[in-house]
Amino acid sequence: MDSELPRTLNVDNFEMRFADVANVELSQLHALSISVGWPHRAADWQHLLDIGKGYVALDEIGRVGASAMWFPHGPDFTTFGMLITSPRLQTNGTAKWLMERIMADCGHTCIRLNSTRDARRLYSLLGFKPKRTVYQCQGTVIPPIAGPLPLEDGLVLRRLDRNDLDAVIAFDAPAFGVDRRVHMLRLFDSSVGYGLYEGQQLRAFSMRRRFGKGHVVGPVIARNDEDAIRVTHPHVAAHIDGFLRLDTHFDTGPFATFIQQSGLVIYDTVTTMVRQEAASYGTGEDGNPVVYGMVSQSLG
């Protein structure tokens, strides 16, 4: 870590110090996210702690006032998230202080993040460039949802199991931009998944897990809107009258229409930003798969 970075920060007549997020009580982190209206359950925090690293800012009596985490995907690529500052610290440099610590730890790796409107100026000052808009779609699933698209001859839609893991990881990598094997392993343990196969070849897949107020669908990886709808439909159908969320870069087209007509309206937007871009999301123009639904805003 860069020894020139200060270990403490004076804020409004009291001193903040940084600490490893792994050494903080889960209940304190959960209370922090609740204080700013984020939906994360304690279990959602625990999932991120199991796969990520991070720092918190503590006041003089050990209360958590801010957090920031990063999630390595191999040696050269990292996603960033969970930048939270309590209301009393949102205008005094605490977020920048934590970000500088993380960037020092990450060195010259590519960092991809999803920025709220309030944080975008900070990230721009730190060298991040805007790339794409993310549409946070969520709501109560409305019955009746549209029926599933018919399967062409030779296509099979079925539940994923551990035997599908290698195919899923290989199919996901060109869509996300890098191999994220470690994260996929964890998702398989906590998610219900569906895969669309043509013979032995995977054509699309999706996963769903508990999160926040209900469930989140993601990742959804496919080469076209129709296949994305096919693998997403079972999750939507399983949660009629339930709360569902899906984060996507798509706000138009058949997939976006299907999601929104199912009750998952655009609730908010964030901006995908990148520093030292070394890996990009697949665009589908080269025949490679595309990310139709993100795992989360922190993990991409």
Average pLDDT, the chain: 91
Residue 14: per-residue pLDDT = 61
Residues of the chain above pLDDT 90, percent? 72
The proportion of the chain whose per-residue pLDDT surpasses 70, expressed as a percent, equals 93
Same-domain check for residues 49 and 143: no
Q: What is the token pair recorded at 108?
A: 């010259």
Judgement on whether residues 152 and 194 belong to the same structural domain of the protein = yes
Same domain flag for 153 and 37: no
| Cβ atoms of residues 55 and 102 within 8 Å | yes
CATH number at residue 17: 3.40.630.30
CA–CA separation, 157 and 93 (whole Å): 50
88 and 162 share a domain? Answer: no
Q: What is the pLDDT of residues 97-114, one digit of tens each?
A: 889 999 999 887 899 999
Tell me whether residue 119 is in a domain: no
256 has a pLDDT exceeding 80: yes
Rounded Cα distance between 105 and 54, Å, is: 10
pLDDT reading at 87 higher than 80: no
How many domains, in total, are found in the chain? 2
Which ranges of 238-274 would DSSP assign to H, the alpha helix? 254-261
**Across residues 218-239, what is the average pLDDT?**
97
Using the predicted structure, report yes or no on whether residue 19 has a pLDDT greater than 50. yes
Candidate from 51-65, 144-158, 195-209, 210-224 with smallest mean pLDDT = 144-158
Determine the structural domain holding residue 21 and report its residue range: 8-108
Residue 67, in any domain of the structure: yes
